[in-house]
Amino acid sequence: MSDSDDELEVDGTEEGQATVTGGEEISIAEYQDFAHLRKLKDEKFCSSIRETVVGSAGEIILGALQVSSKHSFSNQALLDVLRLINSIFRKDVVPDTQVILDNLLFDKKTFSHNFYCKNCFTFLGENTDKSQTHILCFNCSENNKVSNLCDATYFVTADIAPQIEVILQEVGLDALVKPCSDF
């Protein structure tokens, strides 16, 4: 920061208080929550941004996925970025839950949900009857919820044959078996 910029100095004031150069006292929490930006003389931090977004929601999602992949984000970190995007727009422009994102990104035909008992971990199988809301465990008689994936205990399996087929169609077999000249 330059000499003219506000800087945080912690001094002997009350616990949890700090002094911004210039003598103004603010709480450290207030400083950390960017409330200090409201006090800056430069209005660019205080006024609403009124710029046109050049790009579609799909391009925004793809960009978030690329950054997520590049930096090895967890699923939760990716969802937090998507929620941040929605908060910037003040409406839901991109999916911000795991279920909605999975429904958008993954073909339902290649993935299947396999349920297991939340009590004894016995495999209960796939729920092919979408109207069924619970599956009774044959081992411990626990009633397991399957209608809401957020509350269900399950894992996902993927049929890799369609994925291999797409790769072979798009890339071609010749490109996959081409000898490597790096030896």
**In this structure, are 84 and 123 located in the same domain?**
no
| Confidence band for 7, pLDDT divided at 50, 70 and 90 | very low
Count structural domains, the chain.
Answer: 3
**In this structure, are 130 and 171 located in the same domain?**
yes
Helix (H, G, I), strand (E, B) or coil at 99: helix
**In this structure, are 80 and 69 located in the same domain?**
yes
Lowest-confidence segment of 27-36, 83-92, 105-114, 141-150 by average pLDDT: 27-36
User: For residues 19 and 82, which has the higher predicted lDDT (pLDDT)?
Assistant: 82
CA distance 78 to 73: 6
User: For residues 120 and 177, which has the higher predicted lDDT (pLDDT)?
Assistant: 120
Average pLDDT of the chain to the nearest whole number: 75
Host domain of residue 183: 107-183
- In a domain? residue 32: yes
pLDDT, tens only, 110-141: 678 889 999 999 999 887 777 888 999 999 99
Residue reference for tokens 């919820």: 145
Other CB atoms within 10 Å distance of the CB of residue 137: 19
- In a domain? residue 81: yes
Q: Which residues contact 98 (CB under 8 A, 6 or more apart)?
A: 75, 79
Residue of 78, 110, 107 whose CA lies nearest to 95: 78
CA distance 87 to 93: 9
Is residue 123 within 8 Å of 131, Cβ to Cβ?
Answer: no
For the cut 50, the answer to whether the pLDDT of residue 2 exceeds it is: no
CA 114 to chain centre: 23
**In this structure, are 179 and 115 located in the same domain?**
yes
At position 175, the amino acid (one-letter code) is A
Q: Which two tokens stand for residue 163?
A: 């994925």
Question: Average pLDDT, stretch 80-89?
Answer: 90
**In this structure, are 97 and 121 located in the same domain?**
no
**pTM higher than the cut 0.75:** no
**In this structure, are 126 and 158 located in the same domain?**
yes
**In this structure, are 120 and 172 located in the same domain?**
yes
pLDDT > 70 in the chain, percent: 64
